Structure 1
Amino acid sequence: MPNLKVETFKISDLSTYHKNPRRGDVDAIAESLKARGQYRPIVVNIGTHASHDYEILAGNHTYLAAKKLGWKTIQATTVDVDDDQAAQIVLADNRLADLGGYDDETLSALLSDVSSLDGLGWSQDDVDELAAALEPERDDSEVEDVEVPDDAPQRVKRGEIWVLGEHRLMCGDSTKPEDMRKLLGGGGGRSVADGPAL
C-alpha cells in the first residue's frame, strides 16, 4: 500500500491528462473552490516511466478551475506509473463515480440541513424537486367529501396566530400590511406561503 503524501505544486508545473475523456463543469467547480477551498488533493503522475511527466490523472477539472481562479499552487498526491497504468487510473477515477447513486431520502435531508447551497452544484430548484419526488402520492379515491353546514360554528377566528416551532401560522390576509406586521411580529421571515380565502 503506497504511503500517500500531500504536496504543494505550482499550477504552472502541471498539465492536464493528454487524453482525458471526461468533460467537467469547470465553472461549478470554481464556485465550490471559492466557497470552501480545496478539500481533497488532485493526483499527479510524476511520469518517470511515462511519456508525459507531471500530468494530472485525477482532478483535471479541479486544476482547471483553480487555474481559472488565478491560483498559483494546488495540493496533490503523486504516483509514478507508466502510460498504461496512468490510463487505467484516469478511466477508473472517471467511471467508478458514475456507477454509484444516491439514497434520495438521505440526500434530501442533507441538502435541507446545510446552511448554504453555494458551490455545491445543487440549486434550490433541485432541492425542491427532490423533496416533491419523495412526497407520497395521495390516494384521493378513499377520501370522502364532508359537507359542512352553513351554520357550523367557526373554530378559527380572523387574526389568530399559531406558533409551530419556528414557524407562525395566521388566519389573515397576506395583502393587508397590518396582518403581515402582526404575523411577523415586527421582524422578517425567510418565506411566506399563502392560500386563497375559503
Structure 2
Amino acid sequence: MTQATYVRTDTIPLAQLTPFPGNAKRGDVGAILTSLARNGQYRSLVVRQVEPDRYVVLAGNHTTQAIAAHGPGDCGMTVKVGDEERPCGVCGNEPWEPVARCEVVTCDDDTAKRVNLVDNRAADLGTYDDQALAELIAGLDDLGGTGWTDEDLGDLLTAIEEAAAEEEPPEEEQPATTAPAATPGAQDTTGTSPA
C-alpha cells in the first residue's frame, strides 16, 4: 500500500477523465452546477493517472458530472451578483471545451479506493454549529450558488429558537434581596464621609 503522492496541478479535458469505478456516493449534480456557474471551479478534482491520456477521478466525481452536464460552448447563462450581471463561471460565456482543474496524484489501487471512500464519507460525519451557519447564510444578499435556500434558513432559525427555548430554565420566584444593615462601628468603604 502506498500513500497518494501529489504530482502536479493540470487542466484536463473531460474526455480524458473516467469516473471512479463503483463510486457509491450520489451527489446533487444540479446544485454543484449552480455553484460552478456562480462561483467557478474553486476546488480541484483529485485524479490518478492510469495511462498517458487517461485519468480516474478519485475525488470530485459529481463536479465532473456537473461540468459534463454544462457541456461545451457558451451556455448563454449569466449570474446576478449584487447589482452586477456576470458570465457563467464554467464557460465564461465564450466558446469552451469541457475541462477541469485537477490535482494529479500517484497511488496504488488500495489507496485510490481509500481516497474515494473518505472523500465521500467525511462530509457525512461532520456536524454544523447552527448559530454560526445561520449567521453565514443570513449575511449573504442572496443564496445563489450556496446549496442553501431561504426555506433552509427559515428551518434553521426555527430550530435555533426551539433549542434556545428548551435550554432556558423556568422562571422561579426569587426572594427580594435587601442591602445588609450597617454594623455599628464598621468602617465606611463607600468613599463618602458622614454628614
What TM-score does the superposition give when structure 1 sets the normalisation length? 0.64
Structure 2 equivalent of residue 19 of structure 1 = 22
Amino acid at match of 2:24: P
**1:120 alignment counterpart:** 146
CA contact (8 A) 2:46 2:105 kept: yes
Are residues 115 and 6 of structure 1, via their aligned partners in 2, closer, same or farther at CA, if it must alter by over 3 Å? farther
Q: Name the aligned partner's letter for residue 55 of structure 2.
A: Y
Secondary structure at the counterpart of residue 71 of structure 2: coil
Aligned residue type for 1:63: T
Say which SS state the counterpart of residue 103 (structure 2) adopts: strand
Identity %: 39
Structure 2 counterpart SS, 1:54: strand
Partner of 1:81: 107
**Cα shift at 1:2:** 4.6
SS for the counterpart of 1:47 is strand
| Count of aligned pairs | 138
Match of residue 57 from structure 1: 58
Distance 2:116 2:150 in 1: 32
- Listed as ranges, the matches of 1:86-125 within 5 Å are 86-125=112-151
Deviation at 1:96, TM superposition (A): 1.4
Matched, 1:29 2:32: yes
Letter in 1 for 2:165: E
User: Does the CA contact (< 8 Å) of 2:11 and 2:100 recur in 1?
Assistant: yes
Tell me, yes or no, if the aligned pair for 1:47 and 1:81 is still in contact at 8 Å. Answer: no
CA shift in 2, pair 1:2/1:45, >3 Å: closer
Normalising by structure 2, we get a TM-score of: 0.65
Q: Which moved more, 1:100-109 or 1:39-48?
A: 39-48
Distance 1:64 1:117 in 2: 22
**1:122 & 1:93 partners in 2: Cα distance?**
21
Match of 2:43, SS state, is: coil
Q: Give, in whole Å, the separation in 2 of the partners of 1:61 and 1:80.
A: 21
Q: Is residue 6–residue 104 contact of structure 2 (8 Å, CA) maintained in 1?
A: no
Q: CA RMSD in A?
A: 2.1
- Unaligned runs of 5+ residues in structure 2 are 73-97, 172-195
Alpha-carbon shift at residue 5 of structure 1 (Å): 3.5
Aligned equivalents of 1:115, 1:105: Cα separation in 2 = 18
CA distance in 2, matches of 1:117, 1:129: 15
| Stretches of structure 1 lacking an aligned partner (at least 5 in a row) | 143-198
> Greater strand share, 1 or 2?
2
- The structure, 1 or 2, with the larger RCO (C-alpha pairs under 8 Å, 6+ apart) is 2
Matched, 1:66 2:67: yes
The structure with the largest alpha-carbon Rg is 2
